[in-house]
Structure 1
């Protein structure tokens, strides 16, 4: 990240934006703090936290390298690759089957 101060500024503004009671924020899809719904999950405070974390990471990891020397065991890496193939192949077959029978759904 080349401009961490800009990310910090954007992050803090997005983090505290839901606390404002401006009616113009509704036009941008931002709700006030008193709004509650089961199927609505606002991105605003969490997107702000993401940008603040990106700005802080520039100072915590100035060279972009991890502070620890941890490496995953090779057996775990193989298991992850194998599991990805187990998910990818059946989903591709299922997609092709559904795509060929698209008129069944309409």
Structure 2
């Protein structure tokens, strides 16, 4: 026989991705940091992370300063920005919010708070 079968050619039987890797070939990265970001939800009852990994993450979170997105900071300063960014006229409520915010900033600036 020539090594072929009714199931398929010899390529079917090659090791390919079924190969067992040696420990020296594997990365020594911490298992906690593998996977996609935000793939584990902190409050998910079905999440199978160990208690030690959950505690380690909470310790990291306590040490990290909270970072705000640049867009979020701009939206907090200008209530009409989201509508104008999409080429629309801001709503009446957004305009009023922006006016109130500007008046409040002026008032605090006059009092010397800012």
Q: TM-score range by the shorter chain?
A: 0.3 to 0.5
Query: Under a length normalisation based on structure 1, what TM-score does the superposition of the two structures give?
Result: 0.32
Higher RCO structure, 1 or 2 (CA under 8 Å, sep 6+): 1
Query: Under a length normalisation based on structure 2, what TM-score does the superposition of the two structures give?
Result: 0.30
User: Which one has the largest radius of gyration?
Assistant: 2
Structure with a larger share of its residues in helix: 1
